[in-house]
Structure 1
Amino acid sequence: MLNARVGARSADNVRIIAALLMLVAAGFLAIRMVIIYHYTLSYSADHPKAFSDFNFYYYAFSSVLNSPHDPSLIYNNERLVAYLTTLGANLDDILIYCYPPQFALIFAPFALLPSFTAKLAWVAMSVVLSIIGAVLLAKMAYRGEDRRVTALLIGVTMLSFPVLHDAYLAQSNQLLFFLLVTSFFLIERGNRWLAGVFLAFAVVFKVTPLAIVGLLLLRREWRTVISTGVCAIAITLFTASKLGFRVIWEYLTVEIGRAQTYILGAGGLPGNSSVRGALQTISEKLGTPASEATLHATSTIFAAIICVFACYLVFFRSRDKRMDYALACMTMLLAAPILEPIHMVVALIPLVILLGTAIERRDLQLSAISLRIEMLLLAIAVLLLFFMERSAMYTISALITYALCIARYFGPATAVRRNQHAESGGLESRA
């Protein structure tokens, strides 16, 4: 009887917190519409500064189309700055293009359109893909039949500020979000070969999703891994046939390191919400700035620890594949020395999985943390992402999400179920 009452109270708490999140999401929807309307008015008068990050993409796409004989121009910073200056774009941001050549080649047709038209087409594509991804993620994270929960999960995804910020800058994280979610969704539905196609594009566009491939290797998802490898190699060979092997090799050996050095030089929080960025900012505020060697060593050791720990959890303690996807995404983000606020679009995958599975099985304690505390921490992590980044807000949200993922691997769900069955059996015997 006591367990039944506790379960009922936990279910009520879940519904209350879910309703609160839905109410907050509705309020933010109204705010977002006002912001979008304001940006639309501003953009109509200043096209070069509209969707500013796409200027870098457009430069790379144009370089592929107009100078296929010299693809290294994609990474020529002097030429990039000259292009942005001629365009009249904002030169206060980090001025470097650091995406793989495959990305520039595949999306080069956007450069056939006028610059602002290409921007609008890119943003429209990104928004549509993120909506599709949000729907697939909600269906994967929650297997129940309550449509209000599905609507809640979609709302949590689409109304988080990183998604709006990504669209505002015309960035590519919504595309990455779609590719990863679709891969996970297809694996869950048994379409493992097709899942590898989407994951291959994610890998060649961003490289960091190789962490997801590592997860699938641990889970012995051979068909998806093989499909990912074959498709990624095919895309790379196609790129090499058009641009040459040299630009791919130089990207891997030179451009990645150069880009990281350039971006890390921009400072810590809130632009870099990684553990390294937080340590850099905290040490500076305490008046004892950490050296580059200390920052590098700390971030490297931290990345190695959480990667090895993730391998242990997935290999030895896996219970629900969905949590493995969540852990892989958070490990991918936290292991990186650079965690820009827009990268937190991908953090919505573990957040929604945590929230969806908690509501789906609210009669069980899935985590080492009590359901009430877990839902409270989830609400905090989600709400932090509803606001524009400030100080360590996104760092805190990422660390909370990671901790909640870890706690799921040590949850007493099976013990709780046994106790409930034992209690019901005892009542029947007494009757």
Structure 2
Amino acid sequence: MLNARVGARSADNVRTIAALLMLVAAGFLAIRMVIVYHYTLSYGADHPRAFSDFNFYYYAFSTVLNSAHDPSLLYNNERLVSYISNLGANTVNDILIYCYPPQFALIFSPFALLPSFAAKLTWVAMSVVLCIVGAILLAKMAYRGEDKRVTALLIAVTLLSFPVLHDAYLGQSNELLFFLLATAFFLVERGNRWAAGVFLALAVVFKVTPLAVVGLLLLRREWRTVVSTGIWAIALTLFTASQLGFRIIWDYFTVEIARAQTHIVSAGGLPGNSSVRGALQTVSERLGMPASEATLHATSTIFAAIVCLLACYLVLRRSQDRRMDYGLACITMLLAAPILEPIHMVVALIPLAILLGTALERWDVRQSAIVPRAEIVLLALAVFLLFFMERSAMYTVSALLTWVLCVARYFLPASERRLNPQVDSGRLDSRML
């Protein structure tokens, strides 16, 4: 009877926390709607400034559509700057470089058939709808309980985080990446592994960095998903090569990626670059002891190697819940990069939703090396930091907190493991499937 009372009280506490978080989310929704309305009015009078990052995409789409005979123009910076200037967009403070793979430009080149502003509106509408779909699928995957309020909470936390609004405001592509990854994970959980590979392949050819996710799925022996991803990625690459030539694909991997990273990294540290490298650069400058480029490069490389090797070890040797592997893969992909722009934190919502969903799914069971109350507090802080526009190291702290919380899930105390034999069900399921 005592256990029943304690359980009922804990369930009531969870419902209370969920209700309060929903209230906070509703407040932020109202604020977001006012901001969106304001920007809509201003964009109506200044089309070039509207969804400004899409200008770069529109340049790439137009180049592929109208200059397929000379695909090298895709990465011609002088031509890009001239194009953006002719549109009437700002070219003073922005980072003027296009650094997406050729496959991305080719697949979405039909957008260039539309006038610039119509293409922007269509792109943003598509991104928002896909982000909503991705948030719903992510919530269903992250939480397997029956309380629909928790599912609604996870969707609200995802859609109301500032990186999502910022991504839509700029006309960026991280909502698309979020949708592709969330859908791939959802399909794997539902047993549709061949279909999951299609979405993961699109993520890889659009952004390249999701290769980290493929690597960890390989460690999990998700053979069908990995094979499907490889087949579709190769098919999309061959199709691009047939249209634009193999040379542009080769040049992209051997020249353009390094050139783009050098250009972007030179733009500075926080808050524009919320990576560990960016934080170290800013902190060292404020202390009056600017770190050299060699120091910054060595530090970011060593840190990336550590988080990647640790992720491989955890997934290979200590995996407990397949969903946590997805979360760890996403946050590792972000932290290992020398550049972590605030809009990239849209993808960090995947591990945050998984952490929150699994915590509320089994609120009466300890699942982490961190005690439950401390875990909830740290998780709430990581989420809360993403509800605001980036300032200083806010997003760096959120990313690191998310990574620590994910890693802690792999180190459940031995005493808790003995009391909770179901904790190894994820590994058992992966062997059976």
Q: Residues 414, 46 of structure 1: CA spacing in aligned structure 2 closer, same or farther, 3 A cutoff?
A: farther
Residue 29 (structure 2) aligns with: 29
Q: Residues 420, 211 of structure 1: CA spacing in aligned structure 2 closer, same or farther, 3 A cutoff?
A: closer
Residue 17 (structure 1) aligns with: 17
Give the 5 Å matches for 1:315-330: 315-330=316-331
Residue 345 (structure 1) aligns with: 346
Residue 367 (structure 1) aligns with: 368
Would you say how many aligned residue pairs link Structure 1 and Structure 2?
421
Residue 334 (structure 2) aligns with: 333
Q: Give the SS at the match of 1:41.
A: helix
Give the 5 Å matches for 1:119-134: 119-134=120-135
Residue 399 (structure 1) aligns with: 400
- Per the TM alignment, residue 181 of structure 1 is displaced from its structure 2 partner at its CA by 0.5
**Letter paired with 2:25:** A
Q: Residues 187, 83 of structure 1: CA spacing in aligned structure 2 closer, same or farther, 3 A cutoff?
A: same
Q: Give the SS at the match of 2:214.
A: helix
Q: Does 1:262 align with 2:254?
A: no
Alpha-carbon separation, structure 1, partners of 2:331 and 2:16: 27
Output one character per residue of 1:298-351: Cα deviation in whole Å (capped at 9) or x when no partner.
Answer: 000000011000011001100100000000000000000000000000000000
Residue 201 (structure 1) aligns with: 202
Q: Residues 291, 6 of structure 1: CA spacing in aligned structure 2 closer, same or farther, 3 A cutoff?
A: farther
**Letter paired with 1:88:** G
- Per the TM alignment, residue 11 of structure 1 is displaced from its structure 2 partner at its CA by 4.2
Q: Residues 199, 420 of structure 1: CA spacing in aligned structure 2 closer, same or farther, 3 A cutoff?
A: closer
**Letter paired with 1:281:** T
Alpha-carbon separation, structure 2, partners of 1:337 and 1:180: 21
Residue 215 (structure 2) aligns with: 214
Alpha-carbon separation, structure 2, partners of 1:257 and 1:3: 59
Between 278-287 and 403-412, report the one with greater CA deviation.
403-412
Residue 272 (structure 1) aligns with: 273
Alpha-carbon separation, structure 2, partners of 1:166 and 1:413: 42
Alpha-carbon separation, structure 2, partners of 1:6 and 1:215: 39
Q: Residues 89, 303 of structure 1: CA spacing in aligned structure 2 closer, same or farther, 3 A cutoff?
A: same
Alpha-carbon separation, structure 1, partners of 2:328 and 2:86: 44
Alpha-carbon separation, structure 2, partners of 1:203 and 1:308: 20
Alpha-carbon separation, structure 2, partners of 1:253 and 1:420: 49
Contact 1:13 1:372 in 2 (8 A): no
Alpha-carbon separation, structure 2, partners of 1:180 and 1:325: 9
- Structure 1: gaps spanning 5 or more residues: 422-431
Residue 142 (structure 1) aligns with: 143
Alpha-carbon separation, structure 1, partners of 2:146 and 2:101: 41
Q: Give the SS at the match of 1:363.
A: coil
Query: Structure 1 vs Structure 2: percent identity of aligned residues?
Result: 81
TM-score, length basis structure 2 = 0.94
Contact 1:351 1:382 in 2 (8 A): yes
Contact 1:43 1:50 in 2 (8 A): yes
Q: Does 1:170 align with 2:168?
A: no
- Per the TM alignment, residue 14 of structure 1 is displaced from its structure 2 partner at its CA by 3.4
Alpha-carbon separation, structure 2, partners of 1:379 and 1:305: 26
- Per the TM alignment, residue 370 of structure 1 is displaced from its structure 2 partner at its CA by 1.2
Q: Give the SS at the match of 1:49.
A: coil
Alpha-carbon separation, structure 1, partners of 2:219 and 2:420: 32
Q: Residues 327, 420 of structure 1: CA spacing in aligned structure 2 closer, same or farther, 3 A cutoff?
A: closer
Alpha-carbon separation, structure 1, partners of 2:36 and 2:285: 36
Contact 2:22 2:153 in 1 (8 A): yes
- Supply the RMSD in Å over aligned alpha carbons: 1.7
- Per the TM alignment, residue 6 of structure 1 is displaced from its structure 2 partner at its CA by 6.4
Residue 245 (structure 2) aligns with: 244
Contact 1:10 1:372 in 2 (8 A): no
Alpha-carbon separation, structure 2, partners of 1:283 and 1:223: 46
Residue 95 (structure 1) aligns with: 96
Residue 40 (structure 1) aligns with: 40
Output one character per residue of 1:113-139: Cα deviation in whole Å (capped at 9) or x when no partner.
Answer: 000000000000000000000000000
Q: Does 1:192 align with 2:196?
A: no
Alpha-carbon separation, structure 2, partners of 1:9 and 1:376: 19
**Letter paired with 1:269:** L
- Structure 2: gaps spanning 5 or more residues: 423-433
Alpha-carbon separation, structure 1, partners of 2:233 and 2:420: 48
**Letter paired with 1:403:** V
Q: Does 1:60 align with 2:60?
A: yes
Alpha-carbon separation, structure 2, partners of 1:170 and 1:414: 49
Output one character per residue of 1:135-194: Cα deviation in whole Å (capped at 9) or x when no partner.
Answer: 000000000111111100000000000000000000000000000001000000000011
Alpha-carbon separation, structure 2, partners of 1:254 and 1:373: 46
Q: Residues 76, 304 of structure 1: CA spacing in aligned structure 2 closer, same or farther, 3 A cutoff?
A: same
Alpha-carbon separation, structure 1, partners of 2:7 and 2:78: 63
Contact 1:105 1:239 in 2 (8 A): yes
Alpha-carbon separation, structure 1, partners of 2:406 and 2:214: 19
Residue 81 (structure 1) aligns with: 81
Output one character per residue of 1:198-237: Cα deviation in whole Å (capped at 9) or x when no partner.
Answer: 1000000000000011011101111111100010000000
- Per the TM alignment, residue 22 of structure 1 is displaced from its structure 2 partner at its CA by 1.2
Q: Give the SS at the match of 2:96.
A: coil
- Per the TM alignment, residue 24 of structure 1 is displaced from its structure 2 partner at its CA by 1.0
Alpha-carbon separation, structure 2, partners of 1:308 and 1:401: 17
**Letter paired with 1:123:** V
TM-score, length basis structure 1 = 0.95
**Letter paired with 1:139:** K
Between 290-299 and 409-418, report the one with greater CA deviation.
409-418
Q: Residues 172, 181 of structure 1: CA spacing in aligned structure 2 closer, same or farther, 3 A cutoff?
A: same
Alpha-carbon separation, structure 1, partners of 2:39 and 2:95: 22
- Per the TM alignment, residue 358 of structure 1 is displaced from its structure 2 partner at its CA by 0.3
Contact 1:364 1:417 in 2 (8 A): no
Q: Residues 236, 179 of structure 1: CA spacing in aligned structure 2 closer, same or farther, 3 A cutoff?
A: same
Residue 429 (structure 2) aligns with: none
Residue 72 (structure 1) aligns with: 72
Residue 425 (structure 1) aligns with: none
Contact 1:317 1:409 in 2 (8 A): yes
Between 412-421 and 33-42, report the one with greater CA deviation.
412-421
Contact 1:365 1:416 in 2 (8 A): no
Residue 104 (structure 1) aligns with: 105
